[in-house]
A and B are shown apart, each in its own frame.
Chain A
């Protein structure tokens, strides 16, 4: 079982709709959770970090964490063509403390 799992996609969402990206992790003691956006050929950029159960909102982005279910999600409201990218989920602080482990990413395509 991979430590961090994501559906590779592609996920196609119409412009203006809500895009929902999901991630599960295997290490129950993981403490920190991150979402990164990566455009083709570029390095990842941090979108959201979340450390406690519940929702965290930042502009059009909402991260949701459920530690009991070992599940993290990212919602993108009012999706724009510029949101088309690969979204990487990452965790840190698990049994192998201080390693930041990434999922394989979900490719998101926003269609006009």
Chain B
């Protein structure tokens, strides 16, 4: 089954902790994205990557970090510097430049600070 897998589905973080959200795709897509969604709001871009070993900041990158060591994987770390991390986090992938650019989403990770 081709698709995008995010894990875990639910994640609880204590104040001051770093947590890492996993995103894996087997669609052979070049581009991957991380978005944050707050209740009743749209999607805000955190980071995106067009190729392996390269990524760019989105509109709300502060307090987050990413890596793109493999084409299939684009993990997101929510650091303790992110003061209000409770949100729904969505990972997406697309073929990227030069191809159809539709993005497809994983099921999301709901992060709660306790």
What is the total number of residues of chain A having a CB less than 8 Å from a CB of chain B? 22
What is the total number of residues of chain B having a CB less than 8 Å from a CB of chain A? 26
A contact residues vs B (CB 8 Å cutoff): 6, 32, 34, 42-46, 49, 88, 90, 92-93, 97-105
Contact pattern, B 35-50, Cβ under 8 Å of A = 1, otherwise 0? 1000001111100101
A46: nearest residue on chain B (CB-CB)?
A: B102
Contact pick for A44, options B43, B48, B50, B101, CB 8 Å: B43
B42 contact set on A, CB distance < 8 A: 6, 88, 102-105
B contact residues vs A (CB 8 Å cutoff): 31, 33, 35, 41-45, 48, 50, 56, 58, 90, 92, 94, 96-97, 100-108
Cα A49 to Cα B95 with chains together (Å)? 14
A103 contact set on B, CB distance < 8 A: 42
B94 contact set on A, CB distance < 8 A: 100
A46 contact set on B, CB distance < 8 A: 102-104
A45 touches B41 (CB 8 A): no
Question: What are 17 A-B contacts defined by CB distance under 8 Å?
Answer: A32-B101, A43-B107, A44-B90, A44-B105, A45-B105, A46-B104, A49-B101, A49-B102, A98-B48, A98-B50, A99-B45, A100-B101, A102-B35, A103-B42, A104-B41, A104-B42, A105-B41
